[in-house]
Amino acid sequence: MNDSLWRPSQIGAPDNRNLSVHNYEELAALHAIARILAQPQELRDQLERVLQEMSGRLGMQRGMISLLDRETGEAWLDVAHDFNIRDMEVTYQPGEGITGQVAQSGRPMAIANLGKETHFLDRTGARRFLNRSELAFLCVPIIYDARVVGVLSADKVARQVENLDRELAMLSSVAELIAKTVHYRALDEDNRRLRRIIGRTRTPSVDMIGRSRAIQEVFSLIAQVAPSNTSVLIHGETGTGKELAARAIHQNSPRKKGPLVEVNCAAMPDTLIESELFGHEKGAFTGASYQRRGRFEEANNGTIFLDEVGELSAAAQVKLLRVIQEKQFQPLGSSRTIHVNVRIIGATNRNLEADIASGRFRADLFYRLNVFPIYLPPLRERGSDIILLADHFILKYSNELQKPVKRISKAVMERFLSYHWPGNVRELENCIERAVLLASGNIVDTVHMPPSLQARSQEGDSKKVQGTLNTVISSQERAMIIEALKETRGNQSEAAKLLGTTKRIIQYKIRKLDIDPARFRRKPGINDADKVATDPEDA
């Protein structure tokens, strides 16, 4: 590796032996960045303003923020300052160039002299007319929830760089502050890129949306089973979209020109189940004033979808089993036999294996239905699909209700990702429909959410951002005061002068930050008697 390239041995841990503390201008920059992130702006606009602050206050020019694709590990340039990236698609494969190496390893890297570094790609062309020997390059990972979500990098005039450790420490502090914003920006952009891909590729159904591994496995199973006549049993919690999966199987099968008959087994009383499924003759029972075709006969040469099949009574299970085995039945009150060619798709939110063990569901019927099981994951297990689905429902209901709503806010995005979603996709859709109705502008915000999603207060949300800022500032304040006390051998009055503040403020900070000034005082030696602190309050 080139001698101009420097890399710490651990994530975000520059060598403290050479690290000088942040000065007030650097702390002011961090404070200004935190204020930017607290404003209700577009995520991209916030990040662009952060790069402007880095340039104006810290001398870090040509700042760049790249986002990471969580599936492929590829980094793509999203926001830049001091040069135009419009109409450019700049990407880095894992380990490719400095940006790709930092994204892959999660370790900061610095180049003291760009003119000597062969690994630097300059894929944007921003430095092609500059003297690279006069530039240093700094690059740090952006880490959120113990995972690299992006990369922050910038140039700095080489002669202004006194210590690479210190520069990387400052850039790492900025990366820590913007980590959550970059995380949500990556989700947002990932979903936009996915929508473009979805427009060019084939999915089982236009109504089934998702990129998570869990839902992609469902798509794969649907594609495998759809061309056959095999019976399918769809398992999943209420609201996960079992009926959409059944329609997708039918629409992608050779039976798609035939009927798809949907039956809600939970809504049929035992007294009507036989008539509902198999039909009846006129006069077959009291009130049967006309002949009626059953659902199986209506589904001939097509598909019948038995939703909530686990709710069928014991008597209904016996009759359904006979039809599956013999592919024929007699309508109620009739002697004629009807032969049917029907594919059966069942769905349940119950644990049928447990129902078999308790005697509630017939084992022979279960094995007839469960030839090809498909499990639909709950929404809480689908990660960023939540935001993708939210965007889909925003578009759907803004068109239906003729409202100008375009997107959800960052605060709502955070609520959605942390919520348990007991009602799954159906609950999310209802939530978005309500929010679009209530929204007066083009953004859905937390005030438009139902009470279940407003449980977390705005104060709780802001504490996370403020907590990050306080952690950074307090640690730097403590380091600065300790350095001043070392310099003055524990004399608080002299330390206050060095820091440009009052003794009273220093004493308050010492108590607040739990600093012991006594450990910095030296005992007088033969030649030190005139150097020992004499301030009675320092003694």
Q: What is the pLDDT of residue 218?
A: 92
Domain limits for position 316: 213-376
Residues 58 and 95 reside in one and the same domain: yes
User: CA 116, CA 96: separation in Å to the nearest integer?
Assistant: 18
Domain assignment present for residue 200? The answer is: no
Could you tell me the pLDDT band of residue 401, with boundaries at 50, 70 and 90? very high
Angle at 191 between CA 209 and CA 198, to 5 degrees: 50
User: CA 385, CA 61: separation in Å to the nearest integer?
Assistant: 36
Q: Are the C-beta atoms of 442 and 405 separated by less than 8 Å?
A: yes
Segment 481-531, tens digit of pLDDT: 887 888 888 888 888 887 777 787 788 788 877 788 877 775 444 344 334
**Bridge partners of 233?**
346, 373
In the three-class reduction of DSSP (H, G, I as helix; E, B as strand; rest coil), residue 12 is classed as: coil
Q: What is the pLDDT of residue 90?
A: 80
| Residue of 305 and 463 predicted with greater confidence | 305
Is 80 exceeded by the pLDDT of residue 471? no
Residues 29 and 110 reside in one and the same domain: yes
Residues 217 and 362 reside in one and the same domain: yes
Q: What is the pLDDT of residue 332?
A: 77
Is 80 exceeded by the pLDDT of residue 207? no
Look at the block and give the residue holding tokens 């690479």: 164
Residues 400 and 523 reside in one and the same domain: no
Residues 163 and 257 reside in one and the same domain: no
pTM of the model: 0.56
In the three-class reduction of DSSP (H, G, I as helix; E, B as strand; rest coil), residue 379 is classed as: helix
Could you tell me the pLDDT band of residue 16, with boundaries at 50, 70 and 90? very low
Angle at 297 between CA 289 and CA 373, to 5 degrees: 130
- Could you tell me which of 116, 164, 163, 158 has the C-alpha nearest to residue 135? 158
Q: What is the pLDDT of residue 191?
A: 65
Domain assignment present for residue 447? The answer is: yes
Q: Are the C-beta atoms of 119 and 98 separated by less than 8 Å?
A: yes
Residues 400 and 480 reside in one and the same domain: no
Q: Alpha helix locations (H) across 448-533?
A: 458-487, 492-499, 503-512
Residues 287 and 414 reside in one and the same domain: no
Domain assignment present for residue 29? The answer is: yes
Domain assignment present for residue 207? The answer is: no
Residues 89 and 186 reside in one and the same domain: yes
Could you tell me the pLDDT band of residue 108, with boundaries at 50, 70 and 90? very high
Angle at 372 between CA 370 and CA 373, to 5 degrees: 70
Domain assignment present for residue 302? The answer is: yes
DSSP tag of 20:
P
Q: What is the pLDDT of residue 533?
A: 42
Q: Are the C-beta atoms of 29 and 54 separated by less than 8 Å?
A: yes
Residues 411 and 272 reside in one and the same domain: no
Q: What is the pLDDT of residue 13?
A: 42
What average pLDDT does this structure show over 260-277?
82
Domain assignment present for residue 205? The answer is: no
Is 70 exceeded by the pLDDT of residue 289? no
Q: How far is CA 255 from CA 51, 248, 279, 309, in A?
A: 57, 12, 23, 22
CATH of the domain at 83: 3.30.450.40
470: left (phi over 0), alpha (psi -120 to 50) or beta: alpha
Domain assignment present for residue 201? The answer is: no
Domain assignment present for residue 539? The answer is: no
Q: Alpha helix locations (H) across 112-258?
A: 164-200, 213-225, 242-251
Segment 26-66, tens digit of pLDDT: 888 888 888 888 887 788 888 999 998 898 888 888 889 99
Residues 6 or more apart whose CB falls under 8 angstroms from that of 456 comprise: 415, 418
What average pLDDT does this structure show over 230-245?
94
> Percent of the chain scored above 70 by pLDDT?
83
Residues 186 and 329 reside in one and the same domain: no
Could you tell me the pLDDT band of residue 300, with boundaries at 50, 70 and 90? very high
Angle at 422 between CA 420 and CA 426, to 5 degrees: 115
Q: How many domains is the chain built from?
A: 4
Residues 40 and 139 reside in one and the same domain: yes
Is 60 exceeded by the pLDDT of residue 201? no
Handedness of CA 390, 396, 398, 400 (dihedral sign): negative
Q: Which of 359, 376, 393 is the last residue of a domain?
A: 376
CATH of the domain at 446: 1.10.8.60
Residues 59 and 141 reside in one and the same domain: yes
In the three-class reduction of DSSP (H, G, I as helix; E, B as strand; rest coil), residue 310 is classed as: helix
Q: Which of 431, 453, 475 is the last residue of a domain?
A: 453
| Residue of 11 and 189 predicted with greater confidence | 189
Q: Which of 329, 345, 376 is the last residue of a domain?
A: 376
The least confident of 155-164, 361-370, 513-522 is 513-522
Please give the mean pLDDT across all residues of the chain: 81
- Tokens representing 95 are 């380990």
